[in-house]
Structure 1
């Protein structure tokens, strides 16, 4: 559920900004404030095109490196990252690792250009929690449809479906139980009642009651997979 955009101001800054560690970029704003629910622009292989996604969480890995998480389909390793609401802050980091199979990505941020925060709009992340149970109410914060809540109606070890409204650009959005991070939005999904599949539209925003269920991976899966890889992001702890 990433969305492709052509925000020329953002892509021009990404194109003009030097690689991390190569010196300061010219004519950029101060550090961008980022947390779970912040909008990200991630460059793609297509000219003048960015992938619009949502930051799941920001924190530190076992090497005390400032990193963030988002959905894996949002970008490839080595692609540069900017903040949607602070584009003049320039390049903030790069995609440092990803899994196509389990759909997560780790962004390595430049701590001189990013100020981490626990709170974005209504969502606050104060730690990682257990996956939700059927009937639990969970909430998500995405750059497209904002902060919305819904009931979890199917749960597995690795993923769960819920009615937390989401649309293109909300990929990577944190799913919360209270102030605990329990999942990451990765896709819309069909509604199935036994052998019958019911086509439903994507959610348009808060108050839209009839929409596709959202598929989220559990943080237990994401963090466990990152730890097994042993590279950037392993040992991740939210800020």
Structure 2
């Protein structure tokens, strides 16, 4: 794996996560929206990540799903493009399956199923080899590519992704099927071939991305219990 570590932005956490103005308008967030996640070890930087989807859990909490390596439990979250703090906090995560649940303040966040070109209407079964899938990330945007390896919990595809796209939804049409977690070498039999990072749509030769099957992620969240259990798209 090449970039399971998230991108970092130099920004004052004090300014970003200060108490929001009472009259601040809610931010609209969904799968593909960029977020800043508080670094609990530093007040001078935050992690850049992408939301997989926004929905409700079995306690009717408004929650967002992203990659687990984006931050630790207790880390506060801000919307990237509006720099709106006070919107939520990471309340649950798994390092093994690399997922994190953000509990949002429903007065500060309006959920959406549509972000740019991506629409999430349902959760789908894992993709098959040869299928075309698309991802929507805060760094490289909406890109598509074929699936060329599938496993019980993960799949690899040639969608373009890079630092900050961690957590990005992987879609089959309007079905959410995966979550971007890392970039990987291209495997040619027993040989690992290192390819360049993808810089955006139009890059034809770049390293593959690794995604977790969203069905496996949601099942693990349910087994774990707590915030996010029973997740369904808002």
TM-score range, shorter chain: over 0.9
* Aligned pairs (5 A) from 1:132-151: 132-151=127-146
Separation (CA, whole Å) in 2 of partners of 1:218 and 1:124: 18
Give the conservation status (yes or no) of the 8 Å contact 1:11–1:50.
no
* Aligned pairs (5 A) from 1:162-201: 162-201=157-196
* Aligned pairs (5 A) from 1:113-128: 113-128=108-123
Separation (CA, whole Å) in 1 of partners of 2:100 and 2:44: 22
Label 1:28 to 1:165 Cα distance change in 2 as closer, same or farther (>3 A): farther
In the alignment, structure 1 residue 59 sits paired with structure 2 residue 59: no
The alignment's TM-score, normalised by the length of structure 2, stands at 0.95
Label 1:139 to 1:50 Cα distance change in 2 as closer, same or farther (>3 A): same
Deviation at 1:28, TM superposition (A): 6.5
**Per-residue displacement from partner, 1:36-67 (whole Å, max 9, x unpaired)?**
00000000021221000000000000011000
Candidates 143, 147, 152, aligned match of 2:147: 152
**Per-residue displacement from partner, 1:132-183 (whole Å, max 9, x unpaired)?**
0000000000000000000000011200000010000000000000000000
Aligned residue-pair number: 229
Q: Any stretches of 5+ residues in structure 1 without a counterpart?
A: 18-24
In the alignment, structure 1 residue 41 sits paired with structure 2 residue 36: yes
What is the aligned partner in structure 1 of residue 97 from structure 2?
102
Give the SS at the match of 2:223.
helix
Deviation at 1:11, TM superposition (A): 5.1
Separation (CA, whole Å) in 1 of partners of 2:125 and 2:231: 16
Q: Any stretches of 5+ residues in structure 2 without a counterpart?
A: none
Provide the alpha-carbon RMSD of the alignment: 1.2
Give the conservation status (yes or no) of the 8 Å contact 1:172–1:185.
yes
The alignment's TM-score, normalised by the length of structure 1, stands at 0.93
Separation (CA, whole Å) in 2 of partners of 1:48 and 1:236: 33
Give the conservation status (yes or no) of the 8 Å contact 1:96–1:107.
yes
What is the aligned partner in structure 2 of residue 22 from structure 1?
none
**Per-residue displacement from partner, 1:111-135 (whole Å, max 9, x unpaired)?**
0000000000000000100110000
Candidates 7, 10, 13, aligned match of 2:11: 7
